[in-house]
């Protein structure tokens, strides 16, 4: 499919300008034609939108080279194609070094002109996509989007701001599900290496006999199955960042080789004799107690201290319960939008249960639960009965303090509702027994449950 766009055509020779305009319009381009470079600049400064500027190189007043410079100052992504005479090809080549996308020679071949204009449009579209992707990456991984209002997370954010611009190795510790890779990616995105690769490698998910090849690559024939050369993660991450997740699981013989790379920034592929030099920043993560592994002789102490130039610890979710309402609101909004369920909301009782939950799986567990609640919701208000049984527990004193701090204190009607639902839960769903415990009539209980939208017996 032909890429069409908005063309600003600059040519002081009226007959040539008319020929090019008709040729471009014939294939669907929108063309605004002007007779001078200064007029073209005025159009762009006045808000005229264009994808490509097609301009003659030799013009009185502002020539094509001057126009190229002015266009790039206004919009570096705007494509520029120069139209040259036979004696000005060298100038056109110089112009391309200065930022021009392409050039065509006179007399202009209209088929060739269309082809080069289309290519310039596609290049600009790609540049915009890359720029938009960069913005989305920045939004996703900037420290402000790693959510947390607790003192522990605020302290972590401060440490991240200090360490991100450096080239120091960082060891990120924390339980499974706390977001160690998210932290590592945020460090990379806020570092001078942000335009280079961020490559994660899960050391626990790869067998020991394959991990060395994954890290350093191998040469053809270096072992059974090595049918060709493989480039390893260290080489691919040159000038960028390599994230070694679950680094404590690396076998002792590979630990030796990893230490050498960290100290000398050189390595050889498996089965190779060429020394390869790289510039890679190492970020590592573990949910194991590396100090104990060092004491047990399972992890080299020199490698441990080389990795932990800076140590960042992510506390488990149960130790920062004031972050739970923030995370719940974030995930609820995300999954409502993703699943077109914008009318959903959580009852205060659900929030109290979530604040009180154990969260052994940390933020990952919370995220997965919120997605499940949104997808499986059958009523506009997600209530306690929509929670899996293991999350329907009485709030602890600490959880109630968090609830007050988060502004989720309850009305008398909400307190009554929670008391009824919890009593019904404690009686195994027996409504007659629940009514006796609550000291109200069975019909009153049934009416209230109906008001709450609970299913009939």
**Claim to verify: residue 154 and residue 297 sit in the same structural domain:** yes
Q: Are 337 and 371 in contact (CB under 8 A)?
A: no
Which pLDDT score, from 0 to 100, does residue 172 have?
A: 96
Residue 330 lies in a domain: yes
Which pLDDT score, from 0 to 100, does residue 404 have?
A: 47
Q: Are 153 and 134 in contact (CB under 8 A)?
A: no
Residues 6+ apart with CB under 8 A from 404: none
**Claim to verify: residue 270 and residue 362 sit in the same structural domain:** no
**Claim to verify: residue 128 and residue 275 sit in the same structural domain:** no
List the one residue out of 376, 366, 368, 369 whose CA is nearest residue 341.
Answer: 376
We report the CATH number of the domain holding residue 110 as 3.40.50.2300
Residues 6+ apart with CB under 8 A from 352: 395, 399, 400, 403, 408, 418
**Claim to verify: residue 281 and residue 324 sit in the same structural domain:** no
Low-confidence ranges of the chain (pLDDT < 70): 1-2, 86-89, 92, 134-142, 144, 394-415, 453-457
Q: What is the pTM of this model?
A: 0.62
- State which of 280, 315, 350 marks the end of a domain: 315
Residue 456 lies in a domain: no
**Claim to verify: residue 174 and residue 150 sit in the same structural domain:** yes
Residue 457 lies in a domain: no
**Claim to verify: residue 102 and residue 221 sit in the same structural domain:** no
Residue 1 lies in a domain: no
Residue 205 lies in a domain: yes
Please give the structure tokens belonging to residue 57.
């190189």
Q: Are 320 and 157 in contact (CB under 8 A)?
A: no
**Claim to verify: residue 30 and residue 126 sit in the same structural domain:** yes
We report the CATH number of the domain holding residue 303 as 3.40.50.300
List the one residue out of 297, 290, 336 whose CA is nearest residue 313.
Answer: 290
**Claim to verify: residue 173 and residue 311 sit in the same structural domain:** yes
We report the CATH number of the domain holding residue 323 as 1.10.8.60
- The total domain count for the chain is 3
Residue 208 lies in a domain: yes
Compute the Cα dihedral for 300, 301, 306, 307 and give only its sign. positive
Which pLDDT score, from 0 to 100, does residue 398 have?
A: 45
**Claim to verify: residue 429 and residue 335 sit in the same structural domain:** yes
Which pLDDT score, from 0 to 100, does residue 405 have?
A: 47
- State which of 86, 106, 136 marks the end of a domain: 136
- State which of 107, 136, 165 marks the end of a domain: 136
List the one residue out of 410, 457, 408 whose CA is nearest residue 435.
Answer: 457
- Containing structural domain, residue 415: 319-451
**Claim to verify: residue 228 and residue 273 sit in the same structural domain:** yes
For 251, phi then psi, to 5°, come to -65, 150
**Claim to verify: residue 311 and residue 324 sit in the same structural domain:** no
Residue 218 lies in a domain: yes
The rounded distance, in Å, linking the Cα atoms of 383 and 372 is 13
Residue 28 lies in a domain: yes
Per-position b or e across 297-332, b if 16+ CB within 10 A of its CB: eebbeebbebbbebebebbbbeebbbbbbebbeebb
CB count, 10 Å around CB of 407? 7
Q: Are 99 and 79 in contact (CB under 8 A)?
A: no
Assign residue 173 a region (left: φ > 0; alpha: ψ between -120 and 50; beta: otherwise). beta
**Claim to verify: residue 309 and residue 373 sit in the same structural domain:** no
List the one residue out of 342, 324, 306 whose CA is nearest residue 395.
Answer: 324
């Amino acid at each position: 499919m032909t890429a069409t766009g908005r063309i600003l055509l600059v040519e002081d020779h009226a007959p040539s300008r008319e020929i090019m305009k008709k040729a471009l319009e014939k294939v669907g381009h929108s063309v605004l034609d002007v007779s001078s470079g200064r007029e073209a600049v005025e159009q762009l400064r006045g808000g005229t939108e264009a994808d490509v500027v097609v301009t003659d190189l030799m013009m009185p007043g502002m020539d094509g080279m001057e126009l190229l410079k002015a266009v790039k100052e206004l919009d570096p992504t705007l494509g520029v194609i120069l139209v040259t005479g036979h004696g000005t090809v060298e100038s056109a080549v110089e112009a391309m070094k200065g930022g021009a996308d392409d050039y065509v020679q006179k007399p202009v071949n209209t088929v060739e002109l269309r082809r080069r204009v289309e290519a310039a449009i596609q290049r600009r579209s790609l540049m915009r996509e890359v720029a938009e992707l960069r913005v989305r990456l920045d939004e996703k991984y900037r420290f402000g989007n790693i959510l947390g209002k607790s003192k522990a997370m605020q302290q972590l954010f401060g440490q991240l701001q200090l360490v991100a611009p450096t080239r120091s190795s960082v060891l990120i510790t924390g339980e499974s599900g706390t977001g160690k890779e998210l932290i590592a990616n945020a460090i990379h995105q806020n570092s001078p290496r942000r335009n280079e690769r961020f490559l994660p490698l899960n050391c626990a998910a790869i067998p020991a006999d394959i991990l060395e090849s994954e890290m350093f690559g191998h040469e053809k024939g270096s072992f059974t199955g090595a049918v060709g050369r493989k480039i390893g993660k260290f080489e691919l991450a040159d000038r960028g960042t390599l994230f070694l997740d679950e680094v404590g699981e690396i076998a002792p013989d590979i630990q030796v080789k990893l230490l050498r790379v960290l100290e000398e920034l050189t390595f050889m592929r498996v089965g190779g004799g060429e020394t390869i030099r790289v510039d890679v920043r190492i970020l590592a993560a573990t949910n194991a107690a590396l100090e104990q592994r060092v004491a047990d002789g399972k992890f080299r102490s020199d490698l441990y201290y080389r990795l932990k130039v800076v140590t960042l610890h992510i506390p488990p979710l149960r130790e920062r319960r004031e972050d739970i309402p923030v995370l719940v609101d974030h995930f609820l909004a995300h999954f409502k939008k993703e699943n077109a369920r914008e009318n959903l909301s959580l009852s205060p009782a659900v929030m109290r249960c979530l604040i009180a939950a154990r969260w052994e799986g940390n933020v990952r567990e919370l995220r997965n639960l919120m997605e499940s609640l949104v997808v499986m919701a059958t009523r506009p208000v997600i209530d306690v009965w929509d929670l899996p049984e293991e999350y329907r527990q009485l709030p602890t004193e600490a959880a109630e303090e968090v609830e007050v701090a988060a502004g989720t204190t309850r009305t008398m009607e909400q307190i009554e509702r929670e008391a009824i639902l919890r009593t019904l839960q404690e009686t195994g769903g027996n409504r007659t027994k629940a009514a006796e415990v609550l000291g109200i009539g069975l019909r009153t209980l049934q009416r209230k449950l109906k008001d709450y939208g609970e299913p009939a017996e």
